[in-house]
Amino acid sequence: MSFRGWYPLALSRDIAPGTSTGTRVHGSEFVIWRDDKGGAHVWEDRCPHRGMKLSFGFVRGDHIACLYHGWQYDTAGQCRYIPAHPDLTVPKTIKVPRFSVAEAGGVIWGCFSEEDDDAPPAPKLPVAAAALRSIFADCPAPLLVERVGLLDVEGLTPDVSTIDDRILEVRLGGNTLIACVQPVADKESALHIVAMEELDAAQMKPLALWAEELRRDAESFARKAAIREIAA
């Protein structure tokens, strides 16, 4: 699978300073982590030592440490410390591949196709007023996008405009949401949803329930489609 442009990976809110998580785009694995100064990083999710997932590791200051044997990497991806050989000057070649990262509209974006310097311009989005939530669904991204516009829940009828194939504007119950579409793998996808207006907890809750229902609906559609395929 070839990568093209910028992909939404997580809500900025959900990657707190000093934390990490794994994610996938078209099945390829990446680690997202945020250093203690707030900088976000998107790297290949593979420790150069024995190939274990760096997303299982933990952040200390501006280093991420692998859970398995504690090798530590700085924000440039360079290995700085090997606990089994504390006095060793670590060779420059022990380095984790890094990718371009941007934060726009309350969402962390990664770009995997280009070198750092000539990445296409990052998505331009207005500053989000409130992060709603991410949903992760067992269904292909195009199906999830299709269901967004069709799901009425308790009087909430969405009105969707497509900004591009990874950004949807969803008008729902008087609110404007931006939903960013992540193709996780062939049959998995995610939506990272933010709101353009300030919302209090009482206003957020029905929107979150709508998103939960969207996940149920999209997955049940994907299952039915899979059964039809087998039957055909």
Site residues for other proteins per CB under 8 A: 10-11, 14, 16, 19, 21-23, 55-56, 58, 67, 133-134, 136, 190, 201, 204-205, 208, 212
Cα–Cα distances in angstroms (integers) from residue 181 to residues 12, 64, 88, in the given order: 15, 27, 44
Nearer to ligand FES, 48 or 149 (CB): 48
Are 79 and 95 contacting, i.e. CB atoms less than 8 angstroms apart? yes
Residue 36's binding partner among ligand FES, other proteins, none (Cβ under 5 to 8 angstroms by kind) is none
Sheet order of strands, 79-81 included: 58-60, 63-65, 72-73, 79-81
Give the C-alpha separation, 72 to 7, whole Å. 27
Q: Give the interface segment with ligand FES, choosing from 8-16, 65-73, 131-139, 143-151 (CB under 6 A).
A: 65-73
Give the C-alpha separation, 80 to 195, whole Å. 40
102 binds ligand FES (CB under 6 A): no
Beta-bridged to residue 75, according to DSSP, are none
- State the binding string over 32-61 for ligand FES (x if CB under 6 A, else -): ---------------x-xx-x---------
Residue 227's binding partner among ligand FES, other proteins, none (Cβ under 5 to 8 angstroms by kind) is none
